[in-house]
Amino acid sequence: MFIGHNAVGFGSKGAARRTSLGLLMAAPMLLDLIWPIFLLLGIEHLRVPPIRPTKFTPLEFSDYPWSHSLAMCLVWAVLYAGIYFWRTRYTAGAVTLFFGVVSHWIFDFVTHAPDLPLWPGGPKVGLGLWNYPVATIATECALFTIGIFVYRGVTEPEDMTGSVSLWALIVTLALIYIVNAGSPPPTNIRYVAYSALALYLIPVWAAWIDRHRELRE
């Protein structure tokens, strides 16, 4: 899942109004923010096999237990939420961030082929929604739309930047999703990893947006 994770980031603002959208957006993206670093270091591995593992993506996530196993997802969630709580003492924010990180694994479990390990070296699971591209796109678009509506229902722009920058991010995420869905298989795994590092810009952008919006009464 791709923009489905961003949907959780937007929608989480309804549960943690005092928490920056940047942190809320980073939570459901956290496993994918860690993954390209591990890929470049050779800790985890990715393949582009001759036959697509699913109909939606040509990528085969052959080995990513430290970023995407259920056990490590829980570890990353505890660390992320724990550091936030230590800094802020805001319980609602910490709980929301914890479940935001965990939501990534749950969404991936629904969409991926059976490639998600329960723990490093453990059995792999996945329901394979990616084998049904129309259902995949419809589900993600619906979640994305709901998340945006929740965020816009909780906040309002303080200035023009707060409005324009939000819609610019929404359009950018939608375009990235469309391009990725229609792109040919990559020929260079390191290029995939370096491209994935650009994901770090999304939480930064989201934090900037949030500074130009205020909570609705």
Structure tokens at 29: 């993206």
The tokens 């260079």 sit on which residue? 188
Residue 12 reports pLDDT greater than 90: yes
Predicted pLDDT at 186: 87
pTM, to two decimals: 0.95
Residue 61 three-state SS: strand
Residue 60 three-state SS: strand
Predicted pLDDT at 90: 98
Residues linked to residue 117 through DSSP beta bridges, in sequence order: 124
Sign, Cα dihedral of 128, 130, 133, 139? positive
Predicted pLDDT at 164: 97
Structure tokens at 9: 């980031």
Predicted pLDDT at 75: 98
End-to-end CA distance of the chain: 33
Structure tokens at 100: 């935001």
Higher local confidence (pLDDT), 63 or 186: 63
Contact 186, 48 (CB under 8 A): yes
pLDDT range class, residue 132, cuts 50, 70, 90: very high
The tokens 């791709």 sit on which residue? 2
Q: What mean pLDDT is reported for the chain?
A: 96
pLDDT range class, residue 187, cuts 50, 70, 90: confident
Residue 123, amino acid: P
CA–CA gap between residue 87 and residue 31 (Å, rounded): 22
pLDDT tens digits for 75-127? Answer: 999 999 999 999 999 999 999 999 999 999 999 999 999 999 999 999 999 99
pLDDT range class, residue 66, cuts 50, 70, 90: very high
